[in-house]
Structures are given as structure tokens and as C-alpha cells.
Structure 1
Amino acid sequence: SQSSGRQLGAADMGAEGRAHDPDVGPNSLQRYELSGDEHFSLAVQAGPGGDQRPELVLAKALDREEQSLRLVLTAVDGGDPPRSGTAQLCINVTDANDNAPVFAQDRYRVSLREDALPGSTVLNVSASDADSGSNARITYGFGKMSAKVLQKFAIDPETGRITLQEALDFEDTYSYTLLVEARDGGGLLAHCEMEVEVLDVNDNAPEIKVLSVSNPVPENSPVGTVVVLLNVKDPDSGENGKVWCELSVEEPYHTCSSPGWVLAFSWILTG
């Protein structure tokens, strides 16, 4: 049995890998043959006493992730008929960290309501590694991001679960970009990007601002006189940001508005 890393060049199989033939002359050991796998070839070196010493030479790059290797070494003498002996060789290929982690996706996109509670799960990311043992053990983390983003989100280093740490506010920030890393036990890294879209919630009431007031209103003011000019807006978006205004007083007043999400209203004397 031999252990081999991917950097193996030649391996002397030692005394247990050499054949012994008590015959002498032409009937003694003449050659070695190797069969069973294309990854290795056989080289035979002469020992100090003239004996033959077989060596395994790496002929093709090994891959721990694909296969384990079993070889047959045959020793043949020069008799007539020739006699031979065989030995089974088991090559245990030790893993080298030649595979970086791989995320299931290079880019993720998530939508999250702005009223999501801290502690809520944003997404579970996952990566795999074709190596084995500690080289395949993955730890998750964030890449270089602003302090503001790091305060909002957290990631579990063992599971890749990303959670919300602080409340969101669509009116403050409507999108976040998270840089996620997966590191294996040998230090190789993989990266993915996650876009978090914050969905607006109707959490803001309309704001009314008085721009100008005519007070008091002369009783002989003509019809069409502007009495009050208002500005009304809602910081929410979409339908949540549209506003409608109505008066709680009877005539002689009515409102006049301009279209849009920021409205200017006038109370106009109608008679």
C-alpha cells in the first residue's frame, strides 16, 4: 500500500515491493511488469548488489475526486518455462486542495418588505467543494462592504443563512448589494453577489404644508380668489405615494389640485 499526493514523481516501493528468486543465472529474476492503471509507469533501478529495484513513476496527473488506484506488479524469471509472481499494490491518493468552493448561483436576487422584523431570514446561500476532509469544509462570510450594510445583515458562518439585523426603511435605502464569500479549509475562496430589493410598505401618512394663507378674507373678494395654498406629499412610493385631498367645510370653497405625487392645492372662493 502506498500513499500518494498529486506532486508524486517516483516512489521506491521498498524491500516489500522487490521480488526475491533463489535461483541463479538465467533462471533468476529477469524483469518486472506493471498493469492495472495508466497513471503510473514502472522504472527499474539497479541496486548496490546488482539486484533490480522497481520504482513507480507518475505518468499522469492524479485526481483524488475521481478514483482510487490498484496495480499489479509482476516479477518474471528467465526459466523455461518462465515463472512469475505477483503483488497487489493499493495506491491511496491523498487529497490536495485543488478545488475552490462553488456557489449554487453566481448572483442572487431577493425582495424583502421594509417592515420585515430583525432576525428574519433573507436567504440561505450554499456552496460545495469537490475536495474531501478539511479541504471541503466551507465557512461563509461577507466580503468588503460598507459599515451600513454590515449593520443591516448577518451571515451564519456554518450554514450560510443570511438574516436581517436592523429594520429597513425604503425611503432611506431601497436596495442593498451583499458580497458573500465561501472559504474552504485550505483557504480557497468563492464569491457571489446578492441584491436585496426593499419593498415599500404604506408606513407614511401624507404630509400637508401650508405655503400661504389669506387671512382675513375680505367679504368683497371676487370669485376665484386663492385663500390658502397647500403642498401635500407622501414619501411612500407607487400607489402608496398617491394622495387625494378633500375639504371638511361647506361652500363657498373648493379645491384645485395639480397631478402627481407632490400636489399643490388652493382653496378658492366660489361666491
Structure 2
Amino acid sequence: MIVDLHNHTPLCNHATGTPIDYAKAAFNQGCKFYGFSDHAPMNFDQKYRMSFKDMDDYKEAIEMLKAEFKGKMEILFGYEVDYLPGFIDDRVLNANVDYLIGSVHFLNGWGFDNPEFIGEYKNRDIDQIYIDYFDAIKIMAKFGKFDIVGHIDLIKVFNYKPKTDIRIIAKDALNEIKKSGMTVELNSAGLRKPVGEIYPGDEILEMIAQMGIDITLSSDAHSVEQVGLNMDKTIQKAKKFGYNEVAIYQNRDKKMIKI
């Protein structure tokens, strides 16, 4: 494992383990660029994210890790930001970070990836859910404030799949991502979920590769045990689709790293 940019801390209220233990686990797996991108604060769904008063403590903790691992492994600092119009805060968007991951976890207030609300899928048309989700991804890319697209097809998390070809549904969003210059993460967390596959799936990953969109790597760890989990399979998948380098960000500047 060389790069892993999407990882969490207990400040989000649904992760366990200390940042130093995450970093040590990554270092022991040979990681060279390890990033923390915990759930950014916003005045919505506060139960599953840090508060605004935690921002300084979060930054201080990661700065200490940067110093501790200097010369051994580069620690990178970011946020995973929910694209939710009306709730995105300038304190996050203007924070001094290495990168921002933009993610969609809510459709009209419905937390579709939260097991607490899985029953809602039975009340909705699955194709329409996918259309609405990828519309949100498209608008997020057009928003222009983020560096990385988080788990681009998260909507498949519980293995509800559309009847319409996913490539048709996702096409406009991918075109907007290409225009924006954003990077798409290959996120191994999907292998831990009911869907049992990496985000994105092969159809979307093939399109991304054909379009020349850059990728990065993430394990989306919420516990020390998840650090680097299935990253070998994720790297193999990247290489299968022709990628031999992935993106990292330093002070919002993209740099490509060979894998």
C-alpha cells in the first residue's frame, strides 16, 4: 500500500481507534502517503460528524502526526465534505488543508447509506434513486470546491441495482468530473459492505479510464483493523484498467505517484 487518502478519526462519532494507531498501521503496510479526511462539520446530521469546535483539535492532532512521521511517511490532512446545498460551511471550504473530498450521502435529507434508513429503498424507484444520486454528483463536480470524488457510486452500498445501464445514468456526472479536473477515488470500503465490490464498479471505472480521469486510493477506514484492508485488490483493479499512477494532494496541489 503506497497511498491511502480517505480515513477517519473518533471525532466523527462513528469511528474507533486513535489517529496515531491508524498511522502506525499504515506505515507498517509500507504506506508512503497517508491521509486523514474525517467527516467535516455542518449543521445537519451532527450525530455522525465532528463539531465546528473540534476543527482546531483535529488539525492539531494531524499536525503532530505529520511531525512524528516526517521523513518516514507523509501524513496528509483533509476533510470529507458532504455536498448538501445550504449546509456547506465556508469554515470548511476555506480551511488550510491538503485536499477536500466531496461526497454525497443524502438525497433530499435521506441518509441512503445509513443502515438505520435502509427500509426507504422499498418505498422508492431504484432507477430514479440512481438518477437523483448521479445528478447530485454532477452538481457537486460543477460546484468546483473539491479535489476528490468520494466513493462515486456509494448508492449501490446495499446492493440495490438499477435496471437502466449504470453507464447511461453516470455519463453526465463523469463528463462534469472530467471538466472539473477532479480525481476519483478507488475506495475499498465497498468490499466490506453488502454490495461486496469496490467503489466504483467496473462499468464506471472503465469509463473513467477511457476518459483519462485521474484516480487515487482509499480504504475509508473507520477502525484500525480497516486501515489498508483490501488495498491489494484495489491496486490490482487500478492496474487492470490501465492505471500505473495515482494522485495525492499537498496544499491543494495534485501530484502523481507511481503504483
State the TM-score bracket (shorter-chain normalisation): under 0.3
TM-score (norm 2): 0.18
Structure whose residues are more often helix by fraction: 2
Higher RCO (CA < 8 A, seq sep 6+): 2
Structure whose residues are more often strand by fraction: 1
